[in-house]
Amino acid sequence: MTESAAVLLCDGRIVAAAEEERFSRVKHDGGLPYRAIRFVLEFAGLSIRDIDCVGVYWDPYKVKHRARFMLGLSVRNPKRFVEKARRGLSVWRGEHTTGQEGGWGSLFSIKRKLQHHFGFAPKKLVFLDHHRCHMASGLYASHFDSCAILIMDGAGEAACTTSGQGQGARITKINEHLLPHSLGHFYSAVTGYLGFKMLDGEYKLMGLSPYGDPSGASWIRRNLLRSVGPGQYRFESDGLDYHEALRGRFTGAFADHFGPPRPREGGEFNDRHRDIAASAQRAFEEVVLDMARELRRRTRMPDLVIAGGCGLNCVANGRILREGIFERIYVPPVPHDAGGALGAAMALYVASTGRRPDLLDHAQFGPSYGHGQIRSALAACADVQAEELDEGALVGRAAEWLAGGRVIGWIQGRMEFGPRALGNRSFLADPRSDSIRDVINQKIKKRELFRPFAPSVKAEKASDYFEINQHSPFMTIVVPVREQARSLIPAVTHVDGTARPQTVDRAVNPRYWQLLDAFEKRTGVACLLNTSFNIQEPIVCTPDEALATFARSDIDALAIGDFWITRRSAPN
């Protein structure tokens, strides 16, 4: 399990939510999220004794399918059985997680562990089906009263892909694909094959894919991801085994056909690597599109909710819209495992009241920091100078620096819940400068040059720049950049002419919207390049972390709250 999180829901309203990694500073922390739990409780002024029910977005008692699958495998392929059994033991012990107390076996002792950390055990603790939680996080957070639902990830207790529909507070399952038929495992194994870290670098595969030739997708579809009926697929995992890939071994049909894997972090990419990325992405999209078409046919609903870790494949999400399969798509800000916490809280509320909880129109549910905390952090930094400004002056100066080609850090309000920086913990730059993309990748983010950046855009101006007819507040959909806008915003236009926009609503994030507006008044462009405020680490949470990252980056200035911060050695 990865990306553990805590969400506090009171009377149907999300009060606080955060991922454990933001506090532990361990990327993709999958351990017991006691730091995140402590934050949400303290934010609300509560103790765990005040909580009516704690929901866990995994049910460790649902092992029947896995046991049956392993028993069959022991007969069919004893060698592979041993490999998967070894992996299963690792999962049970938590050896595969990046945090502490994160194994499947630890779920049975959660009450005792919570009592150890907080002094009291919760009144009631409920284990919930993982995909059911994802379905709840999508439906109940959306604006849709009724919609189709598609959940895709590595695997829950047994299901890897689940389709269904939601009507009001009711969720109905239509179909599911069980282990080993996992789109997430397929995509993650190809990620490892290309030398990226599995369960971390999947977005790199997606970013690399537009540079290659996807003609190899036809082989993948015939041999690995086979269609077996409308909206039905099989993943022939013997040809590309996920568990072997985790150990760096690639011995099946995939490697026989495409050649040897790229060494981990093995230097430059060649055309073969780019073509493999393009082919894997295309094959993945074809399966998703087929499922989406069948789901639309069966539900006859115009709207679709997507969740699960594969919901972070923004390119596939965008293809569904461009193909006209559904009219609108909603992907919550936390489609991956952390979103299970959101779904668990919402599902428990629905079960106890029969009513839907409040929808999500933003993701600002993490910690915020006041003047005193920011001043204390600044007092510990001798090499910076800070000036306190009113809002108009701060926004104006930031817009001026951005229009002048400088890169700034923007730390405002409550930290976002989910993997995207959405204008509260962001690096920002001018999207009109094509060269700024390489500068940020190489000198600031210290990452591969092919990686794209996303734009933030004033919601009311989004259709001027992008082929999009709906809000996309969480950067979860890739859409074409309009032909006439590509030369205006080259730094956020990917090589294939697409972008992953964040639409910013004035009522939802007023200060960030004001910055976009001030930048537009100076440049005529209502977009900014927005990337997460981190360098090979989880996104920063506190002012101290922001200042530490600022110190080892090459950005020009930092705005934390009302403070404008520069280096003492830098020119004013």
CA distances from 260 to 193, 203, 251, 337, 350 (A): 8, 22, 9, 31, 50
The pLDDT value given to residue 97 = 55
CATH numbers and ranges of domains, the chain: 5-141+335-353 (3.30.420.40), 177-330 (3.30.420.40), 371-567 (3.90.870.20)
φ/ψ (deg, to 5) at 508: -90, -45
Q: What is the pLDDT of residues 157-179, one digit of tens each?
A: 999 999 999 999 999 999 999 99
The pLDDT value given to residue 78 = 73
CA distances from 5 to 33, 315, 453, 537, 544 (A): 6, 26, 26, 17, 22
The pLDDT value given to residue 72 = 72
Calculate the CA 379 to chain-centre distance: 34
**Spatial separation of the C-alpha atoms in residues 112 and 551, rounded to whole Å:** 41
The pLDDT value given to residue 73 = 66
Amino acid at site 233: Y
3-class SS letters over 255-293: HHHHCCCCCCCCCCCCHHHHHHHHHHHHHHHHHHHHHHH
Calculate the CA 132 to chain-centre distance: 18
SS3 content of the chain, % helix, strand, coil (to 5): 40, 20, 40
Q: Give me the mean pLDDT over the 450-475 stretch.
A: 96
Q: What is the pLDDT of residues 83-130, one digit of tens each?
A: 666 766 666 566 555 555 566 667 888 999 999 999 999 999 999 999
**Spatial separation of the C-alpha atoms in residues 403 and 243, rounded to whole Å:** 48
Q: Could you tell me the pLDDT band of residue 3, with boundaries at 50, 70 and 90?
A: very high
Run of H or E residues at 119: none
- If you search the block for the tokens 């985790």, which residue do you land on? 246
How confident is the prediction for the chain on average, in pLDDT?
94
Closest of 524, 397, 396, 401 to residue 458, by C-alpha: 524
- Spatial contact of 417 and 333, defined as CB atoms under 8 Å apart: yes
User: Is a pLDDT exceeding 70 seen at residue 218?
Assistant: yes
**Spatial separation of the C-alpha atoms in residues 411 and 284, rounded to whole Å:** 36
CA distances from 539 to 62, 101, 306, 440, 476 (A): 34, 22, 24, 16, 18
